[in-house]
Structure formats: C-alpha cells, structure tokens
Amino acid sequence: MDNRMKRSACRLLIGLAAITALSAHAEEPSWHQPHKPFRVYGNTYYVGTEGLSAILITSSQGSILIDGTLQCNAPLIEANIRALGLRVEDVRVILNSHAHSDHAGAIAELARASGAQVRASAAGARALMAGGNDPEDPLFGEALLYPPVAHVGVVADGGTVRVGDITLTAHYTPGHTPGSTSWTWRSCEQGRCLSMVYADSLAAISANGFRFSDDATHTHRAEDFRRSIATVAALPCNILMAPHPDAIDFMDKVAARNRGRQPDPLIDPHACQAYAAAAGLKLEARLVKEQQGHAAR
C-alpha cells in the first residue's frame, strides 16, 4: 500500500470511529493525531501519537519498542523513530501492553519494517497471533481486529527481555485483557537512574453483557484483576507511562515540564499507586453493578 492509500484507510477508520462513537471502545481522533517524539528520560523516548503511547528504549546494540498503536499509525511511528535520528531497522524487539487494536494494530507492520522479534505474555502472544480475536477478551465480539503477528515469543511473568544493556521485566497484570502486561526498566541521565514503568490499562471495560465477576468457568477473574492492580501499585516507580497517556495526564505533565516546572512533574514516586487506586475504585464499582444485575459495559 502506498502512503496515500494508507492515509485514506486511516481516514476511513476515523469515519467508522465517528459512527461507532457510542460503543465501549470507540476510537478517538487524538489516537491518530501526530505528536512530535521526545525524550521521556535517559534512553526512553515517546514515539506515539497524541492519544496512544509507543515507547522506544535505546541502546548501542539496538532498541526495544513497546506498543505500535493503531494499524494505520505504523508510518507515523516509523517517522517518529527516524525524527529522533534513530533507525527503524535497529528495533530488535517489539513488546505489547495488551492485544487490543489501539496498542497492537501496527505491530505486524512494524515488525516487518524493522525485522524485530515480537514478544508478549503467554495469553498476549496468543491474542496477537489471532489479530485480537480472543474469546477470553472482555471486549470479545466488539474489539476491532487487526493484522495478526506471525511469530510471538512468550515472556514469563517476572521474565526479562534484553537488548544490549537494556533489561525490561514483564509483570503480568491480567484484567483489562487476559494477556495484559506491565513493563519496568531503568533509565539513567547524568548518573541518575530512575525506575521506569509502562503500566498496562487497568480499566474494567467490556463488550455488552460481559461480567468481570467470578463464575463457574472463571473462578479467579475478579481476584486476578485485583491482584494486578496491587501489582502495579507496588512497582518501583519514578516515571509512569501508560498505553493511554490521557489516563495519567501524561501530556499535561510533559507540557508543564517543557514550561520549566520544577521539580519535573513526570518524576512522581506515587504515580503508580495513584493510577492503581483509581482503577481499583472503578473495578469495585463495576463489580457492585454486576452483582446488582445491571447489564454492564
């Protein structure tokens, strides 16, 4: 597909998003809106769009990309990597937060363009190789599908991914999807090393009629979700990133930092706890609704 066709496919998707704006997981214009790439801290860069994160961590031996955003954003992500003076071909590994189209849609194309290996949690790998068509996904039936990723290696819970001197650790945080994974690593600037966290979405949203409450076939779903929220709250956390930057006011903090606010608003050791606490309240409210028998979204 040439670039013009890619752009028109994108516009078609934006049109569809407008039509389905009332559905649980509708696309938003900011998801397609380009954003100038920037350094988050040390060797960690933001290469996503205004409304969807893609994070690049670099080393002299190659780099790791977390998330690709929407399928039609692949050229934007590649352009952002190049705008930093880096090579797409140097991306050695692509990781994923969760296998929904807004975070994984472009991964197959980015893997092709870079030659990178794709790696994910066990359940995440299955969903990526099915192009998002996962019957265990709370959004199953309403989730947008995307090009399947041909080969996805599995990273165990607590397992690591290494490229050069970068080491990322996988923390399984199932709930929003069965394969949801949060990633941690260290980035350093002038000898000061900070704990970086890319915490997955913790939103209890679903297709109509789905229940997060435990039942005969899923006896631990609610418990697992609560444990995931506790896992995120307990992560070593100096700088929090998330698949949806607006869920953590990330761009507002970046803007404040660019205006020179001190101390750096992106450095906040309580950010993971706050993100988890807000998600916990929403999950409990959702479970109460389900108990009361309300048809839930």
Applying CB under 5 A, which residues contact Zn ion?
A: 100
Residue nearest to Zn ion (CB): 100
Minimum CB distance to Zn ion smaller for 100 or for 253: 100
Minimum CB distance to Zn ion smaller for 139 or for 266: 139
Minimum CB distance to Zn ion smaller for 184 or for 201: 201
Minimum CB distance to Zn ion smaller for 152 or for 163: 152
User: Residue 101 CB, nearest distance to Zn ion (Å)?
Assistant: 8
**Which DSSP symbol is given to 246?**
G
Query: C-alpha angle with apex 138: 286 to 99, nearest 5 degrees?
Result: 125
User: Residue 180 CB, nearest distance to Zn ion (Å)?
Assistant: 8
User: Residue 293 CB, nearest distance to Zn ion (Å)?
Assistant: 25
* Token pair of 256 as six digits: 């404040």
Minimum CB distance to Zn ion smaller for 10 or for 205: 205
- Cβ 174 vs Cβ 225: under 8 Å: yes
Q: Tell which residue, 295, 134, 126, 123, has the closest CA to residue 200.
A: 123
What DSSP letter does each residue of 148-188 carry, written as one string?
Answer: PPS-EEE--TT-EEEETTEEEEEEE--SSSTT-EEEEEEEE
Residue type, 4: R
* Token pair of 128 as six digits: 């990526």
User: Residue 259 CB, nearest distance to Zn ion (Å)?
Assistant: 31
User: Residue 166 CB, nearest distance to Zn ion (Å)?
Assistant: 26
3-state helix, strand, coil in the chain (%, to 5): 35, 20, 45
